[in-house]
């Protein structure tokens, strides 16, 4: 597949600078690009590769245009424009229809005739599989699950009983939706399981990464609103509510009953304690620990960045003595206040009647 650069710019809404007839056959990073490919510059860290790129065209901002040695598509949002261009060259996954001979589909389920149920899939009683749904190898659709139109599930996705998925969801291999939440009550040193009676409800245009787990609610449902994007290996506990168009990077752990607002961005490795509320338009940087509700939009961080081991050991040794240091500072402050009291009185008495 190849597209003329002028046609490409028109389709993604960019401002063309250069030969409109130049043919583009694919995308590539700046440093590895060759003639016939288009690259992009969105992060200033990679600006050093611009002058020597072999690309036929580059997507970039107006400010980077003077250093570009080839044709360009100028955009206020180069990365977004690149995403749209890359989508034009991305291979289209095959769309199939029917039921593979090795699949088991309960006669008490309802599968649209335009859907595909792949090898070794299971569709349980009461499940509803909508139009143009694609179930990859080994998927399990539990009792009473509802799947909206045009969803795509890659290999070994498990949808536990009662899970509801909206339109156009994309779920990657190994994800589990609707497993039991971690609910246990102590009884004289033993644990009693708390039944998990809620469901998982997924909105439209949601994407869920590989091996991500979303627990069903204990009483109320666990909910992901429209447009939520989850990376790989994210853990979402029972009764969590995530607002529309929030994006969560890999290895994030969200404890039970957390409510997250719309358009939030949560970096990789973040941990969020239970029963908190995070308002919309919050950014939490990677590896942060959130232990209190966040009530104002903005950027939040915690954690200690990596540094040379010798410096870290030295600082950690000082950190362990922090309580002792604080106690000594308090003692010094008390002593200083005691000295200030009589001295202030003497100075005041002299000011009242003493001659210089």
pLDDT tens across 109-159, in order? 999 999 999 999 999 999 999 999 999 999 999 999 999 999 999 999 999
Q: How far is CA 306 from CA 45, 104, 281, 287, 323, in A?
A: 20, 51, 28, 11, 24
Task: Note whether 34 and 53 are within 8 A (CB).
Answer: no
The domains of the chain are located at 3-89, 98-300, 320-353
pLDDT tens track for 269-279: 999 999 999 99
DSSP string, 146-161: EE-TT-EE-TT-EE-T
- Out of 77, 100, 172, 238, the active site residue is 238
Q: Is the model's pLDDT at 356 over the cut of 50?
A: no
pLDDT tens for residues 15-57? 999 999 999 999 999 999 999 999 999 999 999 999 999 999 9
If one counts every other C-beta atom within 10 angstroms of the C-beta of residue 254, the result is: 26
Mean pLDDT of 296-309: 93
Q: What is the pTM of this model?
A: 0.87
For the chain, how long is the longest CA-to-CA vector? Answer: 112
* Mean predicted lDDT score pLDDT of the chain: 94
Q: Answer whether 208's CB lies under 8 Å from 177's CB.
A: yes
Architecture of domain 98-300: 3 Solenoid (2.160)
Separation of alpha carbons 89 and 135, rounded Å: 24
CATH number of the domain at 3-89, please? 3.40.1390.10
Question: Directed axis angle between helix 5-12 and helix 78-89, to 10°?
Answer: 120
DSSP codes of every residue in 273-311? -SS-EE-SSEEE-TT-EE-S-B-S-EEE--S-----HHH
Concerning whether 238 is annotated as a catalytic residue, the answer is yes
Return the percentage of the chain with pLDDT > 70, whole number.
Answer: 96
Distance (Å, rounded) from C-alpha 288 to C-alpha 341?
Answer: 46
Q: Which helix (H) or strand (E) holds 126?
A: none
Please state, in angstroms and rounded to a whole number, the distance separating the CA atoms of residues 150 and 3.
Answer: 27
**Burial level of 112, CB count in 10 A (0-12/13-18/19+)?**
middle
d(CA 117, CA 129): 9
């Amino acid at each position: 597949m190849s597209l003329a650069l002028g046609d490409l710019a028109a389709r993604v809404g960019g401002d063309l600078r250069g030969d409109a007839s130049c043919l583009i056959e694919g995308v590539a990073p700046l440093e590895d690009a060759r003639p016939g490919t288009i690259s992009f510059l969105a992060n200033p860290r990679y600006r050093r590769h611009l002058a020597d790129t072999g690309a036929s065209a580059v997507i970039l901002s107006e400010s980077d245009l003077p250093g570009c040695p080839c044709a360009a598509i100028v955009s206020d949002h180069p990365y977004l424009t690149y995403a749209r261009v890359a989508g034009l060259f991305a291979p289209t996954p095959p769309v199939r229809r029917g039921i593979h001979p090795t699949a088991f589909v309960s006669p008490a389920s309802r599968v649209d005739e335009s859907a595909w149920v792949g090898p070794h899939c299971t569709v349980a009683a009461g499940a509803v599989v909508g139009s143009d749904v694609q179930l990859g190898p080994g998927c399990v659709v539990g009792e009473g699950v509802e799947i909206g139109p045009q969803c795509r599930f890659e290999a070994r996705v498990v949808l536990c009983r009662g899970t509801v998925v909206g339109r156009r969801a994309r779920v990657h291999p190994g994800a589990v939706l609707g497993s039991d939440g971690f609910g246990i009550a102590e009884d004289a040193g033993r644990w009693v399981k708390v039944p998990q009676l809620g469901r998982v409800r997924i909105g439209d245009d949601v994407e869920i990464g590989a091996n991500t787990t979303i627990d069903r609610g204990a009483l109320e449902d666990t909910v992901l609103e429209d447009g939520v994007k989850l990376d790989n290996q994210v853990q979402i506990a029972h009764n969590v509510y995530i607002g529309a168009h929030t994006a969560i990077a890999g290895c994030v752990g969200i404890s039970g009953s957390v409510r997250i607002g719309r358009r939030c961005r949560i970096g990789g490795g973040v941990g969020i304690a239970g029963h908190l509320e995070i308002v919309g338009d919050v950014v939490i940087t990677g590896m942060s620990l959130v232990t209190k509700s966040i009530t104002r939009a903005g950027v939040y961080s915690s954690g200690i960045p990596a540094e040379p081991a010798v410096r870290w050991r030295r600082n950690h040794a000082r950190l362990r003595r922090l309580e002792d240091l604080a106690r000594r500072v308090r003692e010094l402050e008390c002593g200083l206040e005691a000295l200030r009291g009589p001295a202030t009185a003497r100075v005041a008495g002299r000011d009242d009647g003493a001659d210089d």
